[in-house]
Amino acid sequence: MENEENQEEQGSEEKGGEFASMLTELLFELHVAATPDKLNKAMKKAHDWVEEDQTVVPVGVADRGEEKTEEEEKEEKPENPEDDRKEERRTKTVEEVYMLSIESLAEVTARCIEQLHKVAELILHGQEEEKPAQDQANVLIKLTTAMCNEVASLSKKFTNSLTTVGSDKKAEVLNPMIDSVLLEGCNSTTYIQDAFQLLLPVLQVSHIQTSCSEARPGAGQTPPS
Protein backbone atom coordinates (compact mmCIF):
# COMPACT_ATOMS: atom_id res chain seq x y z
CA MET A 1 0.00 0.00 0.00
CA GLU A 2 2.78 2.41 0.94
CA ASN A 3 4.59 1.57 -2.30
CA GLU A 4 1.47 2.43 -4.30
CA GLU A 5 1.15 5.77 -2.50
CA ASN A 6 4.82 6.54 -3.10
CA GLN A 7 4.41 5.71 -6.79
CA GLU A 8 1.38 8.03 -7.02
CA GLU A 9 3.30 10.87 -5.37
CA GLN A 10 6.27 10.23 -7.66
CA GLY A 11 4.01 10.26 -10.70
CA SER A 12 2.48 13.56 -9.62
CA GLU A 13 5.91 15.13 -9.10
CA GLU A 14 7.01 13.91 -12.53
CA LYS A 15 3.91 15.40 -14.18
CA GLY A 16 4.44 18.69 -12.36
CA GLY A 17 8.09 18.67 -13.42
CA GLU A 18 7.12 17.94 -17.03
CA PHE A 19 4.71 20.88 -17.07
CA ALA A 20 7.34 23.23 -15.60
CA SER A 21 9.92 22.05 -18.15
CA MET A 22 7.44 22.47 -21.01
CA LEU A 23 6.64 26.04 -19.94
CA THR A 24 10.31 26.94 -19.71
CA GLU A 25 11.07 25.45 -23.14
CA LEU A 26 8.14 27.21 -24.82
CA LEU A 27 9.09 30.57 -23.31
CA PHE A 28 12.66 29.99 -24.48
CA GLU A 29 11.35 29.35 -28.01
CA LEU A 30 9.62 32.74 -27.92
CA HIS A 31 12.98 34.41 -27.20
CA VAL A 32 11.47 36.28 -24.25
CA ALA A 33 13.16 36.69 -20.89
CA ALA A 34 10.18 35.42 -18.88
CA THR A 35 10.42 32.74 -16.21
CA PRO A 36 7.27 30.89 -15.08
CA ASP A 37 8.34 30.78 -11.41
CA LYS A 38 5.07 32.11 -9.95
CA LEU A 39 2.94 29.87 -12.14
CA ASN A 40 5.04 26.80 -11.35
CA LYS A 41 4.81 27.59 -7.64
CA ALA A 42 1.00 27.88 -7.81
CA MET A 43 0.76 24.61 -9.77
CA LYS A 44 3.02 22.78 -7.32
CA LYS A 45 1.03 24.08 -4.35
CA ALA A 46 -2.22 22.84 -5.91
CA HIS A 47 -0.80 19.42 -6.81
CA ASP A 48 0.81 19.02 -3.38
CA TRP A 49 -2.28 19.56 -1.29
CA VAL A 50 -4.55 17.41 -3.43
CA GLU A 51 -2.04 14.53 -3.52
CA GLU A 52 -1.50 14.86 0.23
CA ASP A 53 -5.25 14.87 0.77
CA GLN A 54 -5.81 11.77 -1.34
CA THR A 55 -3.02 9.79 0.35
CA VAL A 56 -3.52 10.93 3.95
CA VAL A 57 -7.32 10.86 3.99
CA PRO A 58 -8.37 7.40 2.82
CA VAL A 59 -12.11 6.72 3.07
CA GLY A 60 -11.72 4.10 5.80
CA VAL A 61 -9.67 6.37 8.02
CA ALA A 62 -12.08 9.26 7.49
CA ASP A 63 -15.06 7.08 8.40
CA ARG A 64 -13.37 5.75 11.54
CA GLY A 65 -12.38 9.27 12.51
CA GLU A 66 -16.00 10.42 12.43
CA GLU A 67 -17.04 7.63 14.79
CA LYS A 68 -14.67 8.79 17.53
CA THR A 69 -16.11 10.65 20.48
CA GLU A 70 -14.81 14.02 21.64
CA GLU A 71 -13.13 12.40 24.67
CA GLU A 72 -11.27 9.92 22.46
CA GLU A 73 -10.11 12.74 20.21
CA LYS A 74 -8.78 14.67 23.21
CA GLU A 75 -6.92 11.60 24.49
CA GLU A 76 -5.38 10.92 21.09
CA LYS A 77 -4.48 14.53 20.38
CA PRO A 78 -0.71 14.57 19.71
CA GLU A 79 1.58 16.82 21.71
CA ASN A 80 3.98 17.38 18.83
CA PRO A 81 2.87 20.33 16.62
CA GLU A 82 3.92 18.44 13.47
CA ASP A 83 1.75 15.49 14.48
CA ASP A 84 -1.04 17.95 15.18
CA ARG A 85 -0.80 19.28 11.63
CA LYS A 86 -0.99 15.71 10.32
CA GLU A 87 -4.10 15.17 12.43
CA GLU A 88 -5.67 18.29 10.95
CA ARG A 89 -4.98 16.96 7.47
CA ARG A 90 -6.67 13.68 8.33
CA THR A 91 -9.83 15.42 9.49
CA LYS A 92 -10.13 17.82 6.55
CA THR A 93 -13.81 18.27 5.75
CA VAL A 94 -15.42 18.09 2.34
CA GLU A 95 -16.23 21.81 2.64
CA GLU A 96 -12.53 22.59 3.20
CA VAL A 97 -11.53 20.48 0.20
CA TYR A 98 -14.14 22.29 -1.89
CA MET A 99 -12.88 25.75 -0.85
CA LEU A 100 -9.26 24.73 -1.48
CA SER A 101 -10.24 23.48 -4.94
CA ILE A 102 -11.91 26.77 -5.91
CA GLU A 103 -9.08 28.87 -4.45
CA SER A 104 -6.40 26.79 -6.19
CA LEU A 105 -8.11 27.01 -9.58
CA ALA A 106 -8.49 30.77 -9.16
CA GLU A 107 -4.82 31.21 -8.22
CA VAL A 108 -3.49 29.00 -11.03
CA THR A 109 -5.72 30.73 -13.59
CA ALA A 110 -4.59 34.17 -12.43
CA ARG A 111 -0.93 33.10 -12.75
CA CYS A 112 -1.52 31.71 -16.26
CA ILE A 113 -3.09 34.98 -17.40
CA GLU A 114 -0.32 36.95 -15.69
CA GLN A 115 2.26 34.87 -17.58
CA LEU A 116 0.59 35.53 -20.93
CA HIS A 117 0.40 39.24 -20.11
CA LYS A 118 4.12 39.28 -19.31
CA VAL A 119 4.89 37.53 -22.60
CA ALA A 120 2.87 40.18 -24.47
CA GLU A 121 4.86 42.98 -22.84
CA LEU A 122 8.17 41.36 -23.76
CA ILE A 123 7.10 40.72 -27.35
CA LEU A 124 6.14 44.39 -27.75
CA HIS A 125 9.44 45.57 -26.27
CA GLY A 126 11.26 43.40 -28.79
CA GLN A 127 14.07 40.94 -28.24
CA GLU A 128 17.66 40.77 -29.42
CA GLU A 129 16.71 37.90 -31.70
CA GLU A 130 13.39 38.61 -33.40
CA LYS A 131 11.06 35.67 -34.09
CA PRO A 132 8.53 35.77 -36.95
CA ALA A 133 4.96 36.49 -35.80
CA GLN A 134 3.72 33.19 -37.29
CA ASP A 135 6.27 31.23 -35.25
CA GLN A 136 5.40 33.21 -32.13
CA ALA A 137 1.70 32.44 -32.66
CA ASN A 138 2.40 28.70 -32.98
CA VAL A 139 4.41 28.65 -29.76
CA LEU A 140 1.75 30.69 -27.93
CA ILE A 141 -0.92 28.21 -29.05
CA LYS A 142 1.16 25.38 -27.55
CA LEU A 143 1.67 27.41 -24.36
CA THR A 144 -2.04 28.18 -24.00
CA THR A 145 -3.01 24.58 -24.73
CA ALA A 146 -0.58 23.31 -22.07
CA MET A 147 -2.05 25.72 -19.52
CA CYS A 148 -5.64 24.72 -20.32
CA ASN A 149 -4.80 21.00 -20.16
CA GLU A 150 -3.11 21.44 -16.80
CA VAL A 151 -6.07 23.37 -15.36
CA ALA A 152 -8.49 20.71 -16.65
CA SER A 153 -6.33 18.00 -15.07
CA LEU A 154 -6.31 19.86 -11.76
CA SER A 155 -10.09 20.28 -11.69
CA LYS A 156 -10.46 16.53 -12.33
CA LYS A 157 -8.12 15.77 -9.42
CA PHE A 158 -10.07 18.12 -7.18
CA THR A 159 -13.37 16.41 -7.99
CA ASN A 160 -11.79 13.01 -7.30
CA SER A 161 -10.62 14.29 -3.93
CA LEU A 162 -14.09 15.65 -3.17
CA THR A 163 -15.61 12.28 -4.06
CA THR A 164 -13.19 10.48 -1.74
CA VAL A 165 -13.50 12.81 1.24
CA GLY A 166 -17.26 13.26 0.81
CA SER A 167 -18.10 9.59 0.30
CA ASP A 168 -20.35 9.68 3.37
CA LYS A 169 -22.26 12.76 2.17
CA LYS A 170 -25.63 12.66 0.46
CA ALA A 171 -25.67 13.15 -3.30
CA GLU A 172 -27.65 16.39 -3.01
CA VAL A 173 -24.85 17.81 -0.84
CA LEU A 174 -21.79 16.47 -2.70
CA ASN A 175 -22.89 16.71 -6.34
CA PRO A 176 -23.37 20.52 -6.37
CA MET A 177 -19.81 20.91 -5.02
CA ILE A 178 -18.39 18.61 -7.71
CA ASP A 179 -20.39 20.40 -10.43
CA SER A 180 -19.18 23.76 -9.11
CA VAL A 181 -15.52 22.71 -9.28
CA LEU A 182 -15.94 21.32 -12.81
CA LEU A 183 -17.67 24.55 -13.86
CA GLU A 184 -14.88 26.60 -12.31
CA GLY A 185 -12.36 24.50 -14.26
CA CYS A 186 -14.25 25.17 -17.53
CA ASN A 187 -14.44 28.89 -16.72
CA SER A 188 -10.71 28.93 -15.98
CA THR A 189 -9.81 27.47 -19.38
CA THR A 190 -12.13 30.03 -21.02
CA TYR A 191 -10.37 32.89 -19.20
CA ILE A 192 -6.97 31.59 -20.34
CA GLN A 193 -8.19 31.25 -23.94
CA ASP A 194 -9.59 34.81 -23.79
CA ALA A 195 -6.20 36.04 -22.58
CA PHE A 196 -4.60 34.30 -25.57
CA GLN A 197 -7.04 36.04 -27.95
CA LEU A 198 -5.89 39.38 -26.52
CA LEU A 199 -2.35 38.50 -27.62
CA LEU A 200 -3.31 38.50 -31.31
CA PRO A 201 -3.14 42.33 -31.71
CA VAL A 202 0.25 42.21 -29.97
CA LEU A 203 1.50 39.73 -32.58
CA GLN A 204 0.14 41.94 -35.36
CA VAL A 205 2.00 44.97 -33.97
CA SER A 206 5.14 42.87 -33.57
CA HIS A 207 4.86 41.72 -37.19
CA ILE A 208 4.46 45.31 -38.42
CA GLN A 209 7.46 46.45 -36.37
CA THR A 210 9.60 43.61 -37.71
CA SER A 211 8.52 44.29 -41.31
CA CYS A 212 9.29 48.01 -40.97
CA SER A 213 12.70 47.20 -39.49
CA GLU A 214 13.58 44.88 -42.36
CA ALA A 215 12.42 47.46 -44.92
CA ARG A 216 14.72 50.19 -43.61
CA PRO A 217 17.94 50.83 -45.58
CA GLY A 218 20.88 49.17 -43.88
CA ALA A 219 18.65 46.67 -42.05
CA GLY A 220 19.43 43.71 -44.21
CA GLN A 221 18.47 45.38 -47.53
CA THR A 222 20.52 47.34 -50.02
CA PRO A 223 19.05 50.81 -50.58
CA PRO A 224 18.04 51.61 -54.19
CA SER A 225 20.65 53.60 -56.16
Task: Report pLDDT for 163.
Answer: 93
CA distance 18 to 122: 24
User: HSE-up of 220 (CA within 13 Å, CB side)?
Assistant: 6
Task: Report pLDDT for 125.
Answer: 77
Task: Report pLDDT for 224.
Answer: 53
Task: Report pLDDT for 79.
Answer: 58
Question: How do residues 55-92 score in pLDDT, each as one tens digit?
Answer: 544 444 444 444 444 555 555 555 555 555 544 445 57
Task: Report pLDDT for 62.
Answer: 42
Task: Report pLDDT for 155.
Answer: 95
DSSP state for residue 68 in the 8-state scheme: S
Radius of gyration of the CA atoms of the chain, in A: 24
Low-confidence ranges of the chain (pLDDT < 50): 1-2, 4-6, 8-9, 56-69, 86-89, 219-221, 225
CA distance 128 to 98: 46
CA distance 74 to 133: 64
Q: Are 133 and 203 in contact (CB under 8 A)?
A: yes
C-alpha separations of 74 from 21, 71, 79, 87, 93 in Å: 46, 5, 11, 12, 19
